[in-house]
Amino acid sequence: MIKSKLEKILLKVQKPGKYVGGELNAVIKNKDEVDVRFAFCFPDTYEIGMSHLGMKILYSLFNSKPYIWCERVFAPWIDMEEQMVKNDIPLYALESMDPISEFDFIGFTLQYELSYTNVLNMLKLGNVPLKSSERTELKNIVVAGGPCACNPEPIADIVDIFFIGDGEEVDLEVIELFRECKKSGKSKEEFLYLASQIKGVYVPALYDVTYNEDGTIKSFTSKREGVPEKIEKRVMMDMDKSYYPDNFVVPNVEIVHDRAVEEIFRGCIRGCRFCQAGFLYRPVREKSVDCINEQCHALCRNTGYDEISLSSLSSSDYTQIVPLLEKLSEWSVDENVSLSLPSLRVDGFSEDILSKIKSVRKSGLTFAPEAGTQRLRDVINKNVKEDELLDTCLVAFDGGYSTVKLYFMIGLPTETLDDVKGIAELGQKVVNTFYKAENRPKGKGVRVTLSSSSFVPKPFTPFQWEPQDSIETIHTKQAHIRENLTTKKISYNYHDADTSFMEAVFARGDRKLNEVLIKACEKGMHFDGWSDCFSLKKWLEVFDECGIDPHFYANRRRSFDEILPWDHIDYSVTKEFLINECKKAYENETTPHCREKCSNCGAMKHKGGVCFEKRSCMV
Amino acid sequence: MKNVRVWFKKDDECRYISHLDLNRVMIRAIQKSRLPVWRTEGFNVHPYITFSLPLSLGFRGERESMDMRILDDKLKLDVIKVELNKCLPHGLEVFDVTEPKIKSGAINSAKFKMRLSTDDISVEELYSKFQEILSSDEILVDKKTKKGIKKIDIKEYFKDAKHYDTDHDIVVRVTLPAGSTTNINPTLLVNALQEKYAIEVYYDITRVDVFDTEGRPFE
Ligand code: SF4
């Protein structure tokens, strides 16, 4: 039915290939032979969603079970959405072309706050009631996971079940429970209660929130006996044994990251104080060289990809990086497969590594010092030293590089205009370094790009209590950088402060924001992560109509003893540790990374990973 | 090393992918098949393939072809077909592999089958409008060229078109110039219909075959 309607509209939209499925390795099952149908929704375009590793892992994992059929759903781009609405085509899954309202589970991965409007809009396009309470039967169970699930409250009225932490086991346990409940004719309510008993599952409908007069939270309590007060995250401790696909769906149309991806470890040892991922995924757990090698080889053989990206939060921190690259080159060279290592750190940038990576092109170098002065880098615990950075640039310039990109954040806690000026000055120092390099490329000028985003305070970081700079202050700081640039060799660009503001609102929002999202959805808002669609004006109107002040969430300093909307979620990192880190930040004091010294963050309770590695005493 | 011509159908889901996408899909299929295909040299080594005649996004193709070089002269052509088919997505199917007989530069025309329908008027009405437009003195349409949009008359290209109507659509068979010199896209007629009668026309177009300057089927 949907198929014949689609034929009429597909030639009217851009890149119709992304709306028809049929890719190599897409899983087709007989719907009558499975017990559970799962619509895995990525609340963004096909090109972005298909590039996402978490979705690939769970898609293959679910489909490895004969009783589950997991299908993919992406947000149709604006032109397609318009055609679908006009022609009465509900949002459908790519494998069966069935509408998502026919599925047992509708799962979302929450990668960024600004995709929340797409979550609601996708339900709307699928004719699925938005609120959990409006979906009364045991079907269309809306589940969500991913980093934003660490503060589930802004969409707690929409989602039935949140998965906290690594999804590989908990998702399957919940699906299995659903299968039993469906067989025995249990109600949705009973199912949700039973699900709440599984570690790593948060069922928001089972809790009550009350507020103080000033809008802060007064109490957060469970409604029913036996419902856990704290929801602890799930962690896959043995990464070698953890499920990893030997096959990806290979898209027919070009996507953002069109290559094989291998996760080499989870977590990050560094503890940069602004970085949420660095705290959510503790402790660091590595895969072994042999395991990575086998998985990479299988992936390339099964997909036909000739490029493999070794993925992690900070690739050069992988303890066996050189042996790994050596092992991989045993076959990758012969099979014409190139390797790439994203997120290399400045201090991990060695010639030894570089010589093994084919795909590091001589076109550009990127660094993320994040702040312009050493003082501020100490505040955020970003262990990048200026002289190291300049040394690396010198080596690179001598080796033929001539362009450098530097990434910064502005609006960081304790930041002054001098720190901001430091960004422009660092750019100048890189330019000067170029002219010191004796073997620099001749006849070519140096090009330095400074890029700044605005700091967004996130839950589960030491800065979770911090106010975000107002949009005006951010604009002043942006202007300050520009005014301090004296050469055309440096170009400066920045992310829009308006979107960072909205991101900050939803990152630390509470349940009151559900109303805002529902209203935004009614007004047809979607794709807020895209400048084509985002409009601060529209958002302010929505907040105004709901009588909610967005600045309360973005720009307010919280006290350490305030009940935070996400306090009932437990990512193993203790609040005492975070408070301590915050206080150290104010003193410009750094914290060593996990391999130098354990700082007792709380993640050790998982009994493995980096916490139990032997530390070679660093002097 | 020998040149081979891979013959395939492009249909179903793969109807909707562009020529660039097709190129990428084929390269990955070759990589996955591990067939000994000659690669370009340089930084980014990948199997070297060339397509005889690009097919517009949305069209089905019944006799499409792509050339590549096989490093192993003894490799059976049938093996290439079998191995590639294991690695292609639904909608792309290799049905033959041959040694090229005609240079792709000699391609001169292509035969299309078009199915036209609309929701705005009945099929009979659409068919009479279609006949009306074909019998008018000239059919002026906008054609995109490298130098911008040009008005051209496509009447003579369609004068030998065969057509009939069915319960739900019109079927048209037409042979049009194609290749390196002139290309006439059958959608030009669709555009003319839409514009002249202000109706929305859906098309389902298949490129059935390709011919050389002498009118011989491309081999
Ligand atoms: S417990 Fe120590 S070693 Fe383990 S993650 Fe926390 S700081 Fe790092």
Could you read off the pLDDT of A219-242 as tens digits, one per residue? 999 999 999 999 999 999 999 999
Residue ranges and CATH numbers for the domains of chain B are 2-100 (3.30.70.580), 106-212 (3.30.70.3190)
Substitution target in B14, B30, B31, B41 with the highest count of A β-carbons within 10 Å is B31
Ligand 1 atom closest to the Cα of residue A573 is: 6
Domain of A179? 2-232
Q: DSSP states of A78-126 as a string?
A: HHHHHHHHHTT---B-TTT--BGGG-SEEEEE---GGGHHHHHHHHHHT
Residue B43 predicted with pLDDT over 80:
no
CB contact under 8 A, A8 and B202: yes
Residue type, A11: L
Ligand 1 atom closest to the Cα of residue A601 is: 6
Task: Band the pLDDT of A396: cuts 50, 70, 90.
Answer: confident
Strand residues in chain B grouped as ranges (E): 2-10, 49-51, 60-70, 92-98, 107-118, 140-145, 148-153, 162-165, 170-177, 201-212
In a domain, A63, yes or no: yes
> Smallest Cβ distance to A20: which of B13, B18, B45?
B13
Q: Report the complex ipTM.
A: 0.93
Which residues are bridge partners to A307 per DSSP? A338
Which residues are bridge partners to A24 per DSSP? A250
* Contact residues of ligand 1, CB 6 A cut-off: A 282-283, 594, 598-601, 603-604, 610-611
CB burial string A486-524: b at 16+ within 10 A, e below: eeeebebebbebbbbbbbbbbbbbbbbbbbbbbbbbeee
Residue B12 at interface with chain A, using a CB cutoff of 8 Å: yes
Residue of B nearest to A21 (CA): B13
* Segment A174-198 mean pLDDT: 98
Structure-model confidence comparison of residues A442 and A427, the more confident one: A427
CB contact under 8 A, B24 and A254: yes
Which of chain B's residues have a Cβ under 8 Å away from the Cβ of A88?
Answer: none
CB contact under 8 A, A17 and B18: yes
What is the model's pLDDT at position A360? 47
CB contact under 8 A, A304 and B202: no
What is the model's pLDDT at position A400? 81
Length of chain B in residues, anyone?
219
Residue type, A352: D
Ligand 1 pocket test, pick from A574, A598, A605 with the greatest ligand atom count within 8 Å of Cβ, gives A598
Task: Please give the tally of structural domains in chain A.
Answer: 1
Residue type, A197: Q
- Determine how β-strand B170-177 pairs with β-strand B162-165: antiparallel
Residue A346 predicted with pLDDT over 60:
no
Rg (CA), chain A: 25
In a domain, A111, yes or no: yes
Number of H helices and number of E strands within chain A?
Answer: 20, 19
> What's this model's pTM, rounded to 2 decimal places?
0.94
* Segment A582-605 mean pLDDT: 96
What is the model's pLDDT at position A350? 59
| B68: DSSP letter | E
The pLDDT tens digits of the residues spanning B102-122 come to 999 999 999 999 999 999 999
Residue B38 and residue B97 in contact, taking contact as beta carbons nearer than 8 Å: no
Query: How far, in Å, from the CA of A576 to the mean position of ligand 1?
Result: 14
Residue A21 predicted with pLDDT over 60:
yes
Residue of B nearest to A95 (CA): B13
**What gap in Å lies between CA A367 and CA A427, rounded to an integer?**
11
Task: Band the pLDDT of A355: cuts 50, 70, 90.
Answer: low
Residue A182 predicted with pLDDT over 60:
yes
Which of chain A's residues have a Cβ under 8 Å away from the Cβ of B204?
Answer: 7
Task: Band the pLDDT of B12: cuts 50, 70, 90.
Answer: very high
CA end-to-end distance (rounded Å), chain A: 69
In a domain, A32, yes or no: yes
Residue A361 predicted with pLDDT over 70:
no
Residue B143 at interface with chain A, using a CB cutoff of 8 Å: no
What is the model's pLDDT at position B144? 84
Residue A617 predicted with pLDDT over 60:
no
In a domain, A556, yes or no: no
Residue A96 and residue A31 in contact, taking contact as beta carbons nearer than 8 Å: yes
CA end-to-end distance (rounded Å), chain B: 20
Q: What percent of chain A has pLDDT above 90?
A: 86
CB contact under 8 A, A302 and B39: no
In a domain, A272, yes or no: no
Residue A432 predicted with pLDDT over 90:
yes
> Smallest Cβ distance to A254: which of B12, B21, B204?
B21
Residue A8 at interface with chain B, using a CB cutoff of 8 Å: yes
Average pLDDT, rounded, for chain A: 94
In a domain, A529, yes or no: no
Query: How far, in Å, from the CA of A328 to the mean position of ligand 1?
Result: 30
CB contact under 8 A, A250 and B89: yes
What distance in Å separates residue B38's CA from the closest CA in chain A?
A: 12
Residue A618 predicted with pLDDT over 70:
no
Q: DSSP states of A245-271 as a string?
A: -S---B-SS--SS-SEEEE-EES-SS-
In a domain, A564, yes or no: no
Residue A252 at interface with chain B, using a CB cutoff of 8 Å: yes
In a domain, A225, yes or no: yes
What is the model's pLDDT at position A353? 61
**What gap in Å lies between CA A618 and CA B165, rounded to an integer?**
83
Phi, psi (5° rounding) for residue A141? -70, 120
CB contact under 8 A, A253 and B18: yes
